[in-house]
């Protein structure tokens, strides 16, 4: 479930959405990203129709072009230059978040990993009070 753009959820509202999607907590608030390592620009890029390559569609700096291969020399790990990241297809690549494991069934498609035998999703542990994790 994706939190609505620009909407601030009360705890009651968030709890209701969480009953539908136990992973709603990841989407409820923007994620602080300034200076944090993000896979974009190294193993993940955003490409426009004309081939312009950027690390992601939030940071306008161009890395090069897909069709002439000029972007390749610019690929390297680099921290996020923005204060926050508020879109799943962006913050899912933050190395400070466990989302490659959480959404191992499809990182961009937001498909959760299947729960281990005997486990289920729960909210309110570990990384953040609103971040869901597996529990047994």
Does residue 56 interact with ligand SF4 by CB under 6 A? yes
Among 3, 63, 80, 102, binds ligand SF4 (CB under 6 A): 80
Q: Is there binding between residue 27 and ligand SF4 (CB under 6 A)?
A: no
Based on the shown chain and the rule CB under 6 A, indicate whether residue 91 belongs to the binding site for ligand SF4: yes
Contact 43, 107 (CB under 8 A): no
Nearer to ligand SF4, 4 or 34 (CB): 34
What b-and-e string marks burial along 10-40, b requiring 16 or more CB atoms within 10 Å of the CB? eeeebeebbeebbbbbbbbeebebeeeebbb
Per CB under 6 A, 85 contacts ligand SF4 = yes
Which residue has tokens 């498909």?
111
Q: Is 82 in the site for ligand SF4 (CB under 6 A)?
A: yes
> Hey, which bits of 59-101 come out as E strands?
59-65, 78-79, 84-85
Find the binder of ligand SF4 among 22, 25, 64, 90 (CB under 6 A): 90
Burial class (CB in 10 A: 0-12, 13-18, 19+), 60: exposed
Q: Confirm or reject binding of residue 55 to ligand SF4 (CB under 6 A).
A: yes
Q: Half-sphere exposure of 71 toward its Cβ, with a 13 Å CA cutoff?
A: 21
For ligand SF4, which stretch binds (CB under 6 A), given 69-77, 88-96, 111-119, 128-136? 88-96
Task: Note the residues at the interface with ligand SF4 (CB under 6 A).
Answer: 33, 38, 40, 55-56, 58-59, 80, 82, 85, 90-91, 93-94
């Amino acid at each position: 479930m994706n939190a609505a753009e620009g909407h601030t959820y009360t705890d009651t509202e968030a709890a209701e959405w969480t009953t539908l999607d136990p992973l709603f907590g990841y989407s409820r608030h923007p994620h602080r990203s300034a200076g944090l390592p993000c896979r974009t620009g190294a193993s993940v890029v955003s490409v426009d129709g004309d081939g312009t390559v950027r690390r992601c569609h939030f940071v306008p700096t161009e890395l090069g072009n897909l069709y002439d291969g000029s972007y390749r020399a610019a690929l390297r790990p680099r921290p996020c230059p923005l204060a926050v990241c508020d879109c799943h297809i962006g913050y899912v690549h933050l190395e400070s978040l466990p989302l490659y494991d959480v959404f191992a069934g499809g990182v961009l498609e937001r498909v959760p990993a299947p729960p281990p035998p005997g486990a289920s999703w729960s909210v309110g542990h570990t990384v953040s009070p609103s971040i869901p994790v597996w529990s047994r």
